[in-house]
Amino acid sequence: MKKTKLNLLTNREDYQRIEGIFFFVRILFYLQIVVLIGIVVIFFAVLINQNNGIGDLSNQKRVLLETLKNKENDEAKLLYLQDKYQDLSTFLKEDARSLPYYNLLNSALVKSTESAILKVFSISKNRDVAFTVAFGDINSLLSFFRFIESDEFLKNFESVSLKSFSALGEGKTKENYELAFTGRFIELHETKN
């Protein structure tokens, strides 16, 4: 081999040893570059996957928000229905069960005279009642007076009293006389025994 240059600093053995070290250093450098490129590619793939997941979640959130926005009207209807249910529950707790008492009083009026008309009827939870009966003629009124003194009428009440008597002008209305009563019904299960 012909040497064109002269290396005065190192001898041939040192040079070959240093050249071998640099060869390994280059191989390590290339391996590090390959590993680093591999890590960057893997990190990039994970990042793209997470971005796709975030995009899917954002789309799902947008769809759910639009659905919720469309359902606000339904939610308002459900809240309204819930309020009405609570009102009904409260009403039923305080209800006087007025229909059976109304029917009882109305059937008693029909028994007394055909022309008696129940104009006003109100009842409380405690069965306290106020009612007004109208009559078209004096004969019906007298017949009703006989009936309200009978046990058949009085058995429906714990107490009953005449509150007022009104005589309306002739020819103005069909009903010429009105009687207003107040009292308290007995409990219905007592009337069935």
How high is the pLDDT of residue 191?
44
Q: What's the confidence (pLDDT) of residue 71? A: 80
d(C-alpha 70, C-alpha 179), whole Å: 58
Domain parsing of the chain, residue ranges: 1-94, 98-192
Mean pLDDT estimate for the chain: 82
Work out the average pLDDT over 44-52: 95
Say what the pLDDT of residue 136 is. Answer: 80
- Convert the pLDDT of each residue in 82-118 to its tens digit: 999 888 888 777 666 778 888 888 888 777 777 788 8
Q: How confident is the model at residue 7, as a pLDDT?
A: 58
Output the pLDDT for position 175: 54
Q: Note the pLDDT of residue 8.
A: 61
- CATH fold of 98-192: Gyrase A; domain 2 (3.30.1360)
pLDDT for the residue numbered 31:
96
Query: Residue 174: its pLDDT value, please?
Result: 54
Q: How confident is the model at residue 9 (pLDDT cuts 50, 70, 90)?
A: low
The pLDDT assigned to 53 comes to 94
| pLDDT score of 157 more than 80 | yes
CB 133, CB 117: distance < 8 Å: yes
**pTM across the whole model:** 0.48
Band of residue 39 on the pLDDT scale cut at 50, 70, 90: very high
User: Residue 68: what pLDDT?
Assistant: 82
